[in-house]
């Protein structure tokens, strides 16, 4: 749903208990996938419903590190700053 830009399905999955912070075999969470596809509205929804902006995949990348666009980077940085978390660029 996240990589297909299907907000309605994402909302359905979240309302029915989907674990937003569970990673796949490469450690990619829903937020990593959405960030990489550039779907800002879905990323915002995921974060507002508990997705971890500081989740790290198996390559030690945060969702912001795989962001597909400046708009996505800006959104993720806004939430990282609000939560007091650093990006890899800051470390």
* pLDDT at res. 6: 94
- All structural domains of the chain with their residue ranges: 7-90
DSSP percent split of the chain into helix, strand, coil, nearest 5: 50, 0, 50
Domain 7-90's class?
Answer: mainly alpha
* pLDDT at res. 17: 96
By three-state DSSP, how is residue 20 classified?
coil
Q: Which residues contact 80 (CB under 8 A, 6 or more apart)?
A: 53, 54, 64, 86, 87
What are the pLDDT tens digits along the chain (91 aa)?
888 899 999 999 999 999 999 999 999 999 999 999 999 999 999 999 999 999 999 999 999 999 999 999 999 999 998 877 655 555 4
What is the C-alpha to C-alpha distance for residues 79 and 91, in angstroms, rounded to an integer? 17
* pLDDT at res. 85: 61
* pLDDT at res. 3: 82
What is the C-alpha to C-alpha distance for residues 43 and 63, in angstroms, rounded to an integer? 10
Contact assessment for residue 34 and residue 2, using Cβ atoms and an 8 Å cutoff: yes
Contact assessment for residue 82 and residue 54, using Cβ atoms and an 8 Å cutoff: no
* pLDDT at res. 45: 97
């Amino acid at each position: 749903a996240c990589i297909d830009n299907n907000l309605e399905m994402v909302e359905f999955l979240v309302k029915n208990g989907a674990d937003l912070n569970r990673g796949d075999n490469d450690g990619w969470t829903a937020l990593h996938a959405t960030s990489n596809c550039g779907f800002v509205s879905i990323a915002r929804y995921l974060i507002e419903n508990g997705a971890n902006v500081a989740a790290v995949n198996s390559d030690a990348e945060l969702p912001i590190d795989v962001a597909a666009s400046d708009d996505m980077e800006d959104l993720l940085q806004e939430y990282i700053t609000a939560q007091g978390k650093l990006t890899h660029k800051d470390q």
